[in-house]
Amino acid sequence: MAKISKVHQTNEHQETEDPNVEPEIKLVQNSSPDEITPLKEEVGRLDSQLKEMRNKYAYLYADLENVKKRAVTERSQMTKFGSEYFAKDLLEVIDNLERSLKHIPKDIHSGLREGLTLTLSQFKAVLEKHGISPISTEGQQFNPDFHEAIGQVNSNQPHGSIVHEERRGYRLHDRLLRPSRVLVSGGPEQKETNENDFEPPEKEEINEV
């Protein structure tokens, strides 16, 4: 009987101690309320710190992605508009070539004229290849975004329309490289009324009855 009782006590001990329960949980289960309260406060504090660190990580990650996107955009802009200053200097050479062709004497050798024309065409082809295109002014209304007015003249063209291009303007892709210098129409010339030229209306004759 003593052996049976000892075996029964051993089985009861095995039932009360579950090997799958973690030691920390056993400690909490066996702790008093006064001991559990500080532990709960510590868990809450650590949980708040974890949330704060997660928020900081999310913010830093988003900021890093924005920096990457900004770097890609700046690199693209640098590739697209990196030749802006060089192109502006090259336009001065083209201006001189166009002026030379306009003022070249008629009796000069035709080969020189053809050479200048060919050189100018090659320059323009290079500009077009790199996204540089001229700004149209013929028959256009004055636009301060693309045109620079150097004067206003009376003409039969509508007020505000361009009547003469002094210097051609150019774009670099979708960016203004330099504006066109133009003369703008002020409309037809208004004739001033002279008092001496004023003729009063003729008086109607009244026939007496």
Say which residue, 39 or 200, is predicted with more confidence. Answer: 39
Residues ≥6 apart with Cβ < 8 Å to 113: 101, 104
Output the pLDDT for position 146: 94
pLDDT band per the 50, 70, 90 thresholds, residue 109: confident
CA separation for the pair 122, 97 (Å, rounded): 12
pLDDT band per the 50, 70, 90 thresholds, residue 206: very low
CA separation for the pair 68, 48 (Å, rounded): 30
pLDDT band per the 50, 70, 90 thresholds, residue 147: very high
Using the predicted structure, report yes or no on whether residue 67 has a pLDDT greater than 70.
yes
pLDDT band per the 50, 70, 90 thresholds, residue 32: low
Amino acid at the residue 70: R
pLDDT band per the 50, 70, 90 thresholds, residue 6: very low
Using the predicted structure, report yes or no on whether residue 46 has a pLDDT greater than 50.
yes
pTM: 0.56
Region of 139 please: left (phi>0), alpha (psi -120 to 50) or beta: left
Using the predicted structure, report yes or no on whether residue 27 has a pLDDT greater than 90.
no
Output the pLDDT for position 141: 92
Q: Rounded to whole angstroms, what are the CA distances from 117 to 65, 92, 113?
A: 51, 16, 6
Helices (H), the chain: 2-16, 23-29, 33-81, 84-103, 110-129
Output the pLDDT for position 205: 52
Q: What is the overall mean pLDDT for the chain?
A: 78
